[in-house]
Amino acid sequence: MRVAVVDIGSNSIRLLVAEVGADGAVSELERRSVVTRLGHGVDAQGRLSQDAADRTFEVLAGYRETIDRLGCERNIAVLTSAVRDAVNGRDFSERVRALGLDAKVLTGDEEAQLTFLGATSGRPPTPEPGVVIDIGGGSTEFVVGHDHTPTFHTSLQAGVVRMSERHIDNDPPLPDELRALRADVAQTFQAGLPAAVRTSVRRGIAVAGTATSAAAIDQALDPYDPARVHGYDLRRATVESLLARLSQMDEEQRRKVAGLHPDRAPTIVAGMILLGEALDAFGLQAVEVSEHDILRGGVLRLAGLG
């Protein structure tokens, strides 16, 4: 079955078109990602801005053309934190449906479960508890489970766009801004992750743009190479080193860093803090970076395999 999944996130808009076999094998035909920062201003204003919505719909129109050209049998557009939190999120969703995309506003729990499905697909079952970490623009999803079965999941209101807008006013950011951002994230994670869950985890998988960017920057990948990012062992000490390096640069300098997509330069500093605090919450000294995330989970769900 040929299917398409569009992930309408708070920071980036992504597309995956894939052929899915009866055995669950996924063959990717097209993958795209464009940063539109749809969630810009939502934390402070409570609504999606017209400019951000217009940027997003320009991208979605192109994705719709690709989906038609490739002859997809089914599609879904998953809408996450920015649309969930915005007072005009319902109107935005209706505009997405008008493009011929099957728009679904995911709850935080649904987002976490779909991410877990994608991140663990194709892996052998293991009794060892692990956590999937998905840092987004408006929120971070944590899913803990073993043997392909999630046992705990939560969506916490700390993402790269939300935290950047809340705490960083200077470029490069001031040390006090970074300390306040770190404290906010640490408190949010501490309050939202029960101690028993945190101490049970023995391994971690990190998905989405912050983690994949960290792996790419650490390897100075230019151009980006998914094969070298997927499965990369990212050390906690490396995350802190990347934070120290990137936080001393202004945005223009960060845009030139090998391995970092220029459009992620405004939020990558917050991303490194979020990723580091996520590892610290579970006492992890390293995490495996994965290219398989909510997009793959959506593909499998459309094909009736999850």
d(CA 138, CA 163): 8
Residues 46 and 193 in one domain: no
Q: Which residues of the chain have pLDDT under 70?
A: 306
Residues 99 and 130 in one domain: no
How distant, in Å, are the alpha carbons of 204, 222, 234 from that of 146? 11, 35, 21
Q: Is residue 299 part of a domain?
A: no
Q: Nearest 5°: phi and psi at 70?
A: -90, 0
Residues 49 and 140 in one domain: no
Residues 72 and 151 in one domain: no
Residues 15 and 164 in one domain: no
Residues 196 and 235 in one domain: yes
To 10 degrees, what angle do helices 268-281 and 209-218 make?
100
State pLDDT tens for residues 161-219. 999 999 999 999 999 999 999 999 999 999 999 999 999 999 999 998 999 999 999 99
User: What ranges in the chain are assigned the alpha helix state H?
Assistant: 42-45, 50-69, 81-85, 89-98, 108-120, 160-167, 175-192, 195-200, 209-218, 226-229, 236-247, 251-254, 268-281, 294-302
pLDDT of residue 268: 97
d(CA 306, CA 298): 9
pLDDT of residue 41: 82
Q: Is residue 304 part of a domain?
A: no
Here the CATH number for the domain that contains residue 238 is 3.30.420.150
| Structural domain of 46 | 2-109
Quick check: pTM over 0.95?
Answer: no
Q: Is residue 278 part of a domain?
A: yes
pLDDT of residue 303: 87
DSSP assignments along 28-80, one per residue:
EEEEEEEE--TTTTHHHHSS--HHHHHHHHHHHHHHHHHHHHTT-SEEEEEE-
Q: Which amino acid is at 232?
A: Y
State pLDDT tens for residues 77-108. 999 877 888 899 889 999 999 999 999 988 87
Residues 259 and 282 in one domain: yes
Residues 128 and 258 in one domain: yes
Residue where a domain terminates, one of 74, 109, 144: 109
Residues 63 and 131 in one domain: no
Characterize the bridge pairing of strands 74-79 and 26-35: unpaired
Q: Is residue 202 part of a domain?
A: yes
pLDDT of residue 257: 97
Residues 156 and 99 in one domain: no
Q: Nearest 5°: phi and psi at 7?
A: -105, 110
Sign of the CA dihedral with 115 first, then 225, 221, and 32 last: negative
Residues 135 and 200 in one domain: yes
Q: Is residue 148 part of a domain?
A: yes
Residue where a domain terminates, one of 57, 83, 109: 109
Here the CATH number for the domain that contains residue 73 is 3.30.420.40
d(CA 247, CA 77): 34
Q: Is residue 254 part of a domain?
A: yes
To 10 degrees, what angle do helices 160-167 and 268-281 make?
110
Please name which of 115, 110, 151, 112 lies closest in space to residue 130, comparing C-alpha atoms.
151
In the chain, the number of structural domains is 2
Residues 209 and 277 in one domain: yes
